[in-house]
Structure 1
Amino acid sequence: MDQHIAESIGRPDLIRLDDRLVCLRFETMKVVSALAAVRHLLDTGAVRRGDTLLDSSSGIYAYALALACHRHGMRCHIVGSTTVDRTLRTQLAVLGAKLEQMEPCSDLKLDQKRRVERIHEILAAHPEYHWMRQYHDDIHYLGYRAIADQVRAATGPAPLTVVGGVGSGASTGALARYLRAAPGGPADVELVGVQPYGSVTFGAGHVSDPEIIIAGIGSSIPFGNVSHELYDTLHWISFEAALAGSVDLLRRHAVFAGLSTGAGYLAARHERERSPGRTVLFLAADTGHRYVDTVYARHREAAPLADFAPQEVPDQSRLALPWSRMSWNRAPAAALPPASALASEVV
């Protein structure tokens, strides 16, 4: 029996959509990493009960950290994106978390920059606060060890392709690391990362999406805990294509999930067709509730999935909307081209 609701929320479901396509569905994925990280900090004496934990979030991690703090008797302070909605604001308030939300801003890159600046201001005024550094600290990998064990038990030794948003690197990166290291695990694990256009993590900062940067799976600033050398392949997927993927996933399989899941589903279907001998597992990081107005209310606009196919590109200078795919081949971050070189390719 669970001792706290966070433990239940953090436990994902494995759903087989067809013979080689599996969805790893979370209610709120980052609860896994937040719970394990806070537990580790307490066990090692880095923090004590009653201390204040601080971080920035576009939404999912704010809720996850608030739950982890509630579970372990900590205080929670969140610098939230302009995208944090009323439902989440209300939940955070009732859970006792302090939320500072950025003023409305149409530029999510500026929103992210302002949040980081505010974090540093708070730390200067309150050096006793512990900054969780979800985008930079490998401590957030720890919670995915148990998820990897669950995946291994369910999928067996067959070759496995894991598909999902790169984000901070702590979900897809951690899963691949633990799956590859575990004895008796899949004989071969490939990792496919999904990115939005505009994200600098794998060198797409020079290409913008006219609709939106898909929050949570990319970044306008470098993330310190993305292990680039874990990834075999990258997909860059636009809002338009991700919307189509989200709507199709709900219509075809009744899975109601967020926008990043729609992008991952699109990439996973493509990878399944490319590799007939592999099982393909994609991550559904959250439910679709906060995307009702921005995505699902537009379901009649969604193009059929058959209208989309990735453009294979040799490097980031050739990236183009709505969907690009590139072999990364587990290269280190040093393989990223200079931003100036990419910008010079844009006309």
Structure 2
Amino acid sequence: MRDHNAVAPPVHDHVTDAVKAPSLIRLTPNTVLVRFETLKVYAALGAVRHLLDTGVVRPGQTLVDSSSGIYALALAMACHRHGLRCHVVASTTVDETLRAQLEILGVTVDQMPPSDDLRLDQNRRVARVRELLARHPDLHWMRQYHDPVHHLGYAELADLLRRALPDQPLTVVGSVGTGASTGGLTRALREHDPLTRLVGVQPFGSVTFGSERFTDPDAIIAGIGSAIPFDNVHHHLYDRVHWLDFQHAMAATIDLMREHAVFAGLSTGAAHLVARWEAAREPDRTHVVIGADTGHRYTRRVFARHREALDPALLAPVEIASLDRLAPPWAAIDWARRSYGPAVPARERPRDTTREHSPEHPREPSRDLRKDPVP
């Protein structure tokens, strides 16, 4: 019998509106997965719309950035929607499936040569972007790692979560990565509830929260941590930080598929494991797990190895009070919304150039994003 009260699904004018809409899946009574096909559509769409609305870029102009994966596709789709050209300097980790999609969308793709050193891969990408800017002054560098314009789009996601989970104290759990998704979402949520908590997830080997002295040969660091500092990571937004090695992240990713039939990426699995631990500690809060992408990029390195996966029920973090106690395979700290400024040699820091934020192409999207949040 036909349900005449059923709400008809919307008809979208562009695929980005469909792709950006997440599915909310309750994993436990106080854990909800926000599952995306590709999370960074929010960042790319929000940034591109703002840049067009403010006249920083114009229709037909070419946008350029480097990416290890899902941001490249998100930017390509945003450019497709708004009549812009796109040039991506791709990480060595970008696979054939993603590269084919980018090329069909008209993206010019520069892919870095194979390398097991992701610091070298990231530095090569930045150097290539600077070379392109020197040759083509009309290019606009999106600077997803450093320009706070990428935080803007997540205000829409915050509104969606507040409507879906009304009157519930929320804890956001997600991989830190560029800092834009966890940071932008939490800023927007704290405008309505300053007690909203943020738990960041990091791999060992990332400079972002001081674990660069460790190496994890199996780790897929791209999209979860970083080998270079990112300005879009605002450390004072985070209440807790967890570090996981590859084996723990893989175990949780396989467990998410086995227990909940959710095929998701490695960062989603890592956040799932952390959220399960945090939810047991604070059962009165709803823990929102950011599921950034699907598991297709991880089929061979993660899902095909499912028989090797550890039992997540047997895993637990070591609680530490300072970074000098940090050690694999899983550690956690009360970060307590404090700032962090690691000593990084000047040659390794991303530097601004006049071409990045010239008078014709100002970088800062709004005064509000430059203010520290009220805890």
TM-score (ref. length: structure 2): 0.87
Q: Does residue 272 of structure 2 align to residue 262 of structure 1?
A: no
Within 5 Å, give how 1:225-244 maps onto structure 2: 225-244=232-251
Q: Structure 1, residues 31-86: CA drift from partner, whole Å, max 9, x if none?
A: 11101111111111111111000000001000000000100111100000000000
Helix, strand or coil: the match of 2:47?
helix
Helix, strand or coil: the match of 1:277?
coil
Helix, strand or coil: the match of 2:241?
strand
Within 5 Å, give how 1:188-207 maps onto structure 2: 188-207=195-214
Counterparts of 2:52 and 2:169, CA distance in 1: 37
Match of 1:72 among 82, 88, 97: 82
Counterparts of 1:244 and 1:283, CA distance in 2: 17
Q: Structure 1, residues 103-154: CA drift from partner, whole Å, max 9, x if none?
A: 0001111111111111111111111100000000110111111100111111
Q: Does residue 125 of structure 2 align to residue 115 of structure 1?
A: yes
Q: Does residue 67 of structure 2 align to residue 60 of structure 1?
A: no
Q: Does residue 52 of structure 2 align to residue 42 of structure 1?
A: yes
TM-score (ref. length: structure 1): 0.94
Helix, strand or coil: the match of 1:282?
strand
CA contact (8 A) 1:159 1:187 kept: no
Helix, strand or coil: the match of 1:68?
helix
Tell me the residue number matched to 2:362: none
TM-superposed deviation, 1:158: 2.1
CA contact (8 A) 1:11 1:32 kept: no
Structure 1, gaps ≥5 residues long: 341-347
TM-superposed deviation, 1:188: 2.7
CA contact (8 A) 1:209 1:321 kept: no
Match of 1:275 among 279, 282, 287: 282
Helix, strand or coil: the match of 2:289?
strand
The one-letter code of the counterpart of 2:176 is V
Counterparts of 1:162 and 1:249, CA distance in 2: 18
Match of 1:217 among 224, 227, 232: 224
Within 5 Å, give how 1:104-143 maps onto structure 2: 104-143=114-153
Q: Structure 1, residues 168-217: CA drift from partner, whole Å, max 9, x if none?
A: 111011111100103xxx57311000011111111111111121242102
TM-superposed deviation, 1:339: 6.6
CA contact (8 A) 2:155 2:184 kept: yes
Tell me the residue number matched to 2:176: 166
Counterparts of 1:298 and 1:88, CA distance in 2: 22
Helix, strand or coil: the match of 1:290?
helix
CA contact (8 A) 2:206 2:221 kept: no
CA contact (8 A) 1:230 1:330 kept: yes
The one-letter code of the counterpart of 1:43 is D
TM-superposed deviation, 1:159: 1.6
Match of 1:152 among 138, 159, 162: 162
Counterparts of 1:93 and 1:339, CA distance in 2: 36
CA contact (8 A) 2:173 2:274 kept: yes
CA contact (8 A) 1:206 1:339 kept: no
Tell me the residue number matched to 2:299: 292
CA contact (8 A) 1:191 1:233 kept: yes
The one-letter code of the counterpart of 1:259 is L
- Identical pairs, percent: 58
The one-letter code of the counterpart of 2:90 is G
Q: Does residue 342 of structure 2 align to residue 332 of structure 1?
A: no
Q: CA RMSD in A?
A: 1.2
CA contact (8 A) 1:198 1:213 kept: no
Q: Structure 1, residues 248-267: CA drift from partner, whole Å, max 9, x if none?
A: 00000011100011100010
The one-letter code of the counterpart of 2:13 is Q
Structure 2, gaps ≥5 residues long: 1-10, 346-375
Tell me the residue number matched to 1:343: none
Helix, strand or coil: the match of 1:218?
coil
Counterparts of 2:304 and 2:289, CA distance in 1: 24
Helix, strand or coil: the match of 2:93?
coil
CA contact (8 A) 1:66 1:76 kept: yes
Counterparts of 1:49 and 1:210, CA distance in 2: 43
Match of 1:252 among 229, 235, 259: 259
TM-superposed deviation, 1:160: 1.2
CA contact (8 A) 2:240 2:332 kept: yes
CA contact (8 A) 1:198 1:220 kept: yes
Residue range with higher mean Cα deviation, 314-323 or 158-167: 314-323
In structure 2, the CA distance between the partners of 1:283 and 1:159, relative to structure 1 (3 Å rule), is: same
Helix, strand or coil: the match of 2:243?
strand
Counterparts of 1:28 and 1:109, CA distance in 2: 24
CA contact (8 A) 1:244 1:304 kept: yes
Tell me the residue number matched to 2:372: none
The one-letter code of the counterpart of 2:31 is L
Counterparts of 2:279 and 2:13, CA distance in 1: 39
In the TM superposition, structure 1's runs of 4+ consecutive aligned residues that sit over 3 Å from their partners are none
Residue range with higher mean Cα deviation, 236-245 or 325-334: 325-334
